Amino acid sequence: MRFVTIGTSGITREFVAAAKNAGAEYVGAYSRDISRARAFAGDFGGSLGFDALGSHAACGDADTVYVASPNALHARQSRLMLEAGKHVICEKPAATDPAELRGLQELADKKGVIYVEAIMSLHSPGLAALKKAMGRVGEISFAHIDFSQLSSRYALLKNGEMTNIFSQEMQAGCLEDIGLYCVYLTLELFGKPDRIVSKSVFLPSAADGRGCALFEYADKEVVLTHSKTAQSFSPSQILGDRGAVTVGSVSQVKDVRFYDAATSECETVFGDMSKVGIMEYEAADFMRFEDDPVNTAGDYAHCREMSLLVCETLAEMRRQAPGFTF
């Protein structure tokens, strides 16, 4: 994988570091500001900087583009890169409109390239450990999946400063930013629910700051909670009649523990790992999708199906919560 990037914030820095660790070659950066593009590329050994998306897409030295711009730009920029025949790894949410996402997936197929949403949880080795531990808890009747992380940008908002992450125009807010990870994990573990009841709470003149949802299944209920205005110190929990599994991070699927209901003994089945460490697994999978499409077709198809299912589910959750403008 020889890749270029869109976006010059912290997440792009983390992804470039992780992808390079996984063996990818970093070529260059796009920024709205050419000196920032060149400086960013230089920080990671890339030689090219662009301030025009057209030239970025036409860059013959790269076969892949990593998109980490504000949410509202993802679909448009991904389309431009796919049209140019590049593989695209796009930060979440890849799109907010399911029809648009489906169209982009079809375009990627037509062009014979890979198009994936960058979702760490699907590639974390902690996910397999979590699923194995769930096999030990017996009959699962209830789960609470939480991602509540106080945003440093919430204080800025309270001081009157709007940032992209709290902007509805940028299709951002709590649900699309971190609630999405709760939805991903729930659908990955339990599939599509029979019924969803969802609520979001909006910040003054801004996007949603927190929310909760009930996902009902024939044999269990899953409660999802997510917040950017308060910090949780409790793990997510999956409860059965023989034990429970807790998950410290639903986005990275790490700090996973099994509790035996009979003895109350706790066993760590997957411990801590750095975020860049988890992202290395993600980047390595994307490289395999590109380099070995035949043997990775099943895993790639699963990522795409999950992207679409999550996108459809988030659209339904937004529909149920008056206040969303997208």
Ligand X SMILES: NC(=O)c1ccc[n+]([C@@H]2O[C@H](COP(=O)([O-])OP(=O)(O)OC[C@H]3O[C@@H](n4cnc5c(N)ncnc54)[C@H](OP(=O)(O)O)[C@@H]3O)[C@@H](O)[C@H]2O)c1
Q: Which residue from 41, 178, 19, 180 is spatially nearest to 87, judged by alpha carbons?
A: 19
Of 64-72, 140-148, 210-218, 229-237: span binding ligand X (CB under 6 A): 64-72
Length of the chain: 326
Q: What burial class does residue 162 get, using C-beta atoms within 10 Å of its C-beta: 0-12 exposed, 13-18 middle, 19+ buried?
A: middle
Told to check if 8 binds ligand X by CB under 6 A, we report: yes
Closest to ligand X by CB, 231 vs 295, is: 231
Site string for ligand X, 98-127 (x = CB under 6 A): --------------------x---------
Told to check if 56 binds ligand X by CB under 6 A, we report: no
Closest to ligand X by CB, 78 vs 225, is: 78
Closest to ligand X by CB, 134 vs 178, is: 178
Q: Which residue from 316, 169, 144 is spatially nearest to 234, judged by alpha carbons?
A: 144
What is the spatial distance between Cα 205 and Cα 197, in angstroms, rounded to a whole number? 25
User: What secondary structure letter does DSSP report for 238?
Assistant: E
From 23, 32, 155, 205, residue interacting with ligand X (rule: CB under 6 A): 32
Closest to ligand X by CB, 21 vs 141, is: 21
Look up tokens 């950017």; give the residue: 228
Q: Shortest Cβ distance from residue 134 to ligand X (Å)?
A: 24
Pairing of strands 25-30, 48-50: parallel
Told to check if 11 binds ligand X by CB under 6 A, we report: yes
What is the spatial distance between Cα 257 and Cα 247, in angstroms, rounded to a whole number? 7
CB within 8 A of 256, min separation 6: which ones? 126, 129, 130, 133, 245, 246, 247, 248, 268, 269, 270
What is the spatial distance between Cα 284 and Cα 59, in angstroms, rounded to a whole number? 23
Told to check if 92 binds ligand X by CB under 6 A, we report: yes
Of 6-14, 127-135, 202-210, 294-302: span binding ligand X (CB under 6 A): 6-14
From 3, 5, 7, 151, residue interacting with ligand X (rule: CB under 6 A): 7
Question: Strands (DSSP E) along the chain, which ranges?
Answer: 2-6, 25-30, 48-50, 64-67, 87-91, 115-118, 140-148, 195-202, 208-216, 221-227, 236-240, 243-249, 254-260, 266-270
Closest to ligand X by CB, 172 vs 213, is: 172
Q: Shortest Cβ distance from residue 175 to ligand X (Å)?
A: 12
Of 31-39, 126-134, 200-208, 220-228: span binding ligand X (CB under 6 A): 31-39
Size of the site for ligand X (CB under 6 A): 19
Closest to ligand X by CB, 152 vs 295, is: 152
Told to check if 70 binds ligand X by CB under 6 A, we report: yes
Q: Is 1 helix (H, G, I), strand (E, B) or coil?
A: coil
From 141, 164, 232, 268, residue interacting with ligand X (rule: CB under 6 A): 164
Closest to ligand X by CB, 205 vs 295, is: 205
From 46, 77, 79, 91, residue interacting with ligand X (rule: CB under 6 A): 91
What is the spatial distance between Cα 257 and Cα 272, in angstroms, rounded to a whole number? 11
| Tokens representing residue 106 in the block | 């079809």
From 31, 64, 227, 236, residue interacting with ligand X (rule: CB under 6 A): 31
Told to check if 165 binds ligand X by CB under 6 A, we report: yes
Closest to ligand X by CB, 80 vs 244, is: 80
| Tokens representing residue 60 in the block | 């013959």
Closest to ligand X by CB, 11 vs 309, is: 11
Dmax of the chain from CA atoms? 62
Q: Quick one: which H or E segment has residue 153?
A: helix 152-158
Under the rule (CB under 6 A), what is the footprint of ligand X? 7-9, 11, 31-33, 36, 68-71, 73, 91-92, 118, 164-165, 177
